């Protein structure tokens, strides 16, 4: 079986777990603690980042970008399923990728880095320290802007990038689910974003993520609740 | 004709200018100053980042990720040329993308952000200020590590990701060329990286970049020199 090196609260890992499941690729999960800089891990991905996908035939595909595109490149090798990471014509695919970049780069830098990395990964890192309150405040402010943007996109589209669910939805939901685990998402104030998230959250691919538990961090009361 | 909104010292823009030329796509360049947050520009790319590609038939493809993959997705619509952004089988393409991510994310965060953004963009931004010396020192240290990594890759490969030139080479060279404009690259200490860069620099696609000039910043003496 294929393997995936991941961390339960890493948004990049979460997006790939969702994509693998939606594509019908079974993997065995191996939890990796990237802050430990394990030499065997750095051989697989010298950048030291998660996730890393080890296909059944061997080799290592490192990072959410390479893995998501690899899943699209190898669609023909798998039984046909409904989900395509980058559906549509070249322009539609470009819109999916613009939004993947939006969440995996902009949202990561403006929200996830502040709220998840500060709160969780900083505690485990070599220089364990308390969260920086100013950073967390910036993260909360930015999150509200991003939730508004998600609502804006869903005003005219069924899914974030268009008529079909794509990797853009999975990337966005991955970040939000990590924040939601920590109880950081003010859903009740952002109804359209909440309605979109409820759709993604109810996918069977989401179930394993809702069972994740990280020692030292109890998930928020509604984290696993489909009727949140 | 197609258009590209870019900035001469933006490494993402540079990588796409190279890729467009290598793919045989002619564009008219329009210089954009992203720090001005021009409303018409934000309509094209709400993230406010460069570059943005406007194909001849209209629409906007925003960001180096979406544009580079769009060029690969539309290969069949153009006359056959030697260059493919992501050449090879799915595993080889994944290696190209791992390295694109390396340069467009890791190198950007660890070097370009410190040395180009600090030195140039900060000066033009709304809160114009002097470069942060500590950030610049970190950028210089990190650059040495990345030049060593490039040398390491070329020990066993003709190009960064394998036997063929790919978008990984263009992304890496784009960052280094922006730094080289500012005279920040200690080439003489990193011979293997220098030899690889000389190959990319001598491509016809590179010529327009070597003619770039940014007001207030004179290019380093050997910037445009193919025999540097």
Q: Indicate the residue among B32, B54, B77 that finishes a domain.
A: B77
A162 backbone φψ class: left, alpha, beta (φ>0; ψ -120 to 50): left
Give the number of domains in chain A: 2
Residue A131 reports pLDDT greater than 80: no
Q: Is residue A132 part of a domain?
A: yes
Left (φ > 0), alpha (ψ -120 to 50) or beta: where does B48 sit? left
What is the structure's pLDDT at A54?
98
What pLDDT sits at residue A4?
98
Tens-place pLDDT, residues B107-122: 999 999 999 988 887 7
Q: Is A122 exposed, middle or buried (0-12, 13-18, 19+ CB in 10 A)?
A: middle
Cis peptide preceding B51, ω within 30 of 0 = yes
pLDDT band at B126 (very low <50, low <70, confident <90, very high): low
Q: What is the pLDDT of residue B38?
A: 96
Whether residue B129 sits in one domain with residue B205: yes
Residue B173: CB atoms within 10 Å: 28
The 10s digit of each residue's pLDDT in A187-208 is 999 999 999 999 999 999 999 9
Q: Measured between alpha carbons, how far is B76 from B96 in angstroms, rounded to an integer?
A: 20
B112 and B33, same domain (yes or no): no
Q: How far apart are CA B84 and CA B12, in angstroms?
A: 18
CA distance A225 to chain B (A): 32
- Is residue A130 scored above 90 in pLDDT? no
Q: List the structure tokens of B75.
A: 């290969």
Residue A181 included in any domain: yes
Residue B221 has pLDDT above 70, yes or no: yes
What is the complex's ipTM, to 2 decimals? 0.96
Bridge partners for B3 per DSSP: B28, B54
Could you tell me the residue range of the domain that residue A56 belongs to? Answer: 2-77
Residue B179's SS3 state is helix
Q: Is the predicted pLDDT of residue B105 greater than 70, yes or no?
A: yes
B170's CB contacts (< 8 A; 6+ apart) are B15, B18, B19, B22, B85, B200
Q: Are residues B35 and B111 in the same domain?
A: no
Question: Residues A83-102: pLDDT tens digits?
Answer: 999 999 999 999 999 999 99
Mean per-residue pLDDT for B86-100? Answer: 98
Residues 80-99 on A with a CB inside 8 Å of B are: 86, 90-91, 93-95, 97-98
Report the alpha-carbon distance of residue B17 to residue A199 in Å, rounded.
Answer: 39
**Interface contact B104, partner A, CB < 8 A:** no
Check residue A79 and give its pLDDT: 83
Of residues A56 and A80, more confidently modeled: A56
Q: Confirm if A37 and A205 have CB atoms less than 8 A apart.
A: no
| Subunit contact A66:B102, Cβ cutoff 8 A | no
Average confidence (pLDDT) over A105-130: 85
What residues contact A206, with CB distance under 8 A and at least 6 apart? A18, A173, A177, A200
Q: Check whether residue B101 and residue B70 sit in a common domain.
A: no
Residue B73 domain flag = yes
Bridge partners for B5 per DSSP: B30, B52
Mean pLDDT of A98-113: 97
Cα distance between residue A7 and residue B123, in whole Å: 39
Q: Are residues B119 and B29 part of one domain?
A: no
Percent of chain B with pLDDT over 90: 86
Residue A126 has pLDDT above 70, yes or no: no
Choosing from A51, A77, A103, the residue where a domain stops is A77
Range with the poorest average pLDDT among A11-15, A126-130, A156-160: A126-130
User: Cβ–Cβ of A47/B149 closer than 8 Å?
Assistant: no
Tokens of A17: 């777990």
Q: Which of A62, A93, A100 sits opposite B98 (nearest CB)?
A: A62
Who contacts B36 (Cβ-Cβ below 8 Å, separation ≥6)? none
- Stated as kind and residue range, the H or E segment containing B4 is strand B2-6
CA distance B103 to B179: 13
Q: Which of B25, B49, B75, B91 is the mutation pick for testing A, counting most A CBs within 10 A?
A: B91
Strands (E), A35-169: 52-54, 61-62
Least reliable range by pLDDT among A43-47, B85-89, B126-130: B126-130
> What's the pLDDT score for residue B130?
75
A70, A91, A101: residue with CB nearest B65: A101
Tell me the mean pLDDT in the region A129-157.
93
Assign residue A113 the CATH number of its domain: 1.20.1050.10
Q: Which of the two residues, A123 and A226, has the higher pLDDT score?
A: A226
Confidence class for position B146, pLDDT limits 50, 70, 90 = very high
The DSSP letter of residue B53 is: E
One domain for residues B122 and B156: yes
> What pLDDT is attached to residue B76?
87
pLDDT of res. A120: 84
Spell out the alpha helix ranges (H) of chain B.
11-22, 39-44, 64-73, 90-101, 122-124, 133-156, 167-181, 191-201, 207-210
Note whether B102 contacts A: Cβ–Cβ < 8 A: yes
| Coil/strand/helix, residue A218 | coil
The count of CB pairs under 8 A between chains A and B is 80
pLDDT tens track for B175-210: 999 999 999 999 999 999 999 999 999 999 999 999
DSSP label at residue A113: I
* A136, A29: one domain: no
User: Strands B2-6, B27-31: parallel, antiparallel or unpaired by DSSP?
Assistant: parallel
Candidates A37, A33, A59, A56; CA nearest to A48 is A37
Answer yes or no: is pLDDT of A150 > 70: yes
**Domain holding B7: CATH number?**
3.40.30.10
Band (pLDDT 50/70/90 cuts) for residue A19 is very high
For residue A157, what pLDDT is reported? 97
Per residue in B6-56, pLDDT (tens digit) is: 999 999 999 999 999 999 999 999 999 998 999 999 999 999 999 999 999
Verify that A55 and A109 share a domain, yes or no.
no
CB A15 within 8 A of CB A68: yes
In a domain? residue B128: yes
* Domain end position, chosen among B43, B77, B111: B77
A60 vs B120, residue with greater confidence: A60
Q: Are residues B172 and B120 located together in one domain of the fold?
A: yes
Pair (B205, B166) in one structural domain: yes
Same domain? B69 vs B139: no
Taking residues B93-112, report their average pLDDT. 98
Same domain membership, residue A32 and residue A98 = no
Rounded mean pLDDT, B116-130: 76
Whether residue A226 is contained in a domain is answered as no
> What percent of chain B clears pLDDT 70, i.e. is strictly above it?
98
Residue A112 burial (10 A CB sphere; 0-12, 13-18, 19+) = buried
Residue B73, CA distances (Å) to A87, A92, B86, B117 in order: 12, 11, 10, 31
* Distance (Å) of CA B54 to CA A7, B5, B27, B212: 38, 8, 9, 21
Res B159: pLDDT: 98
pLDDT at A82 over 70: yes
- Given an 8 Å threshold on Cβ–Cβ distance, is B98 in contact with A63? yes
pLDDT at A89: 96
Residue the block writes with tokens 């959250």: A201
Give just the sign of the alpha carbon dihedral B213, B167, A113, A46: negative
User: Predicted confidence band at B128 (pLDDT cuts at 50, 70, 90)?
Assistant: low
Chain B residues with CB under 8 Å of A70 CB are 90-91, 93-94, 97
Question: How many other β-carbons are positioned within 10 Å of the β-carbon of residue B57?
Answer: 7
B63 close contact with A: CB closer than 8 A: yes
């Amino acid at each position: 079986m294929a393997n995936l090196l991941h961390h339960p609260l890493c948004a990049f890992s979460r997006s790939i777990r969702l994509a693998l499941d939606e594509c019908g690729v079974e993997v065995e999960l191996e939890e990796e603690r990237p802050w430990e800089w394990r030499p065997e891990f750095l051989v697989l991905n010298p950048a030291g980042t998660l996730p890393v996908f080890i296909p059944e035939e061997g080799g290592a595909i490192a990072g959410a970008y390479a893995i998501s595109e690899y899943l699209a490149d190898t669609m023909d090798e798998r039984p046909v399923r409904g989900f395509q990471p980058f559906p549509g014509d070249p322009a539609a695919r470009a819109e999916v990728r613009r939004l993947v970049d939006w969440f995996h780069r902009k949202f990561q830098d403006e929200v996830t880095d502040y709220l998840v990395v500060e709160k969780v990964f900083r505690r485990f890192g070599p220089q364990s320290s308390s969260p920086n309150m100013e950073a967390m405040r910036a993260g909360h402010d930015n999150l509200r802007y991003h939730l508004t943007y998600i609502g804006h996109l869903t005003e005219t589209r069924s899914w974030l990038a268009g008529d079909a669910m794509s990797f853009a939805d999975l990337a966005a939901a991955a970040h939000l689910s990590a924040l939601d685990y920590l109880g950081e998402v003010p859903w009740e104030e952002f109804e359209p974003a909440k309605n979109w998230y409820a759709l993604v959250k109810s996918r069977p691919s989401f179930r394993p993520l809702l069972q994740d538990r990280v020692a030292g961090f109890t998930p928020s009361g509604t984290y696993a609740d489909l009727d949140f």
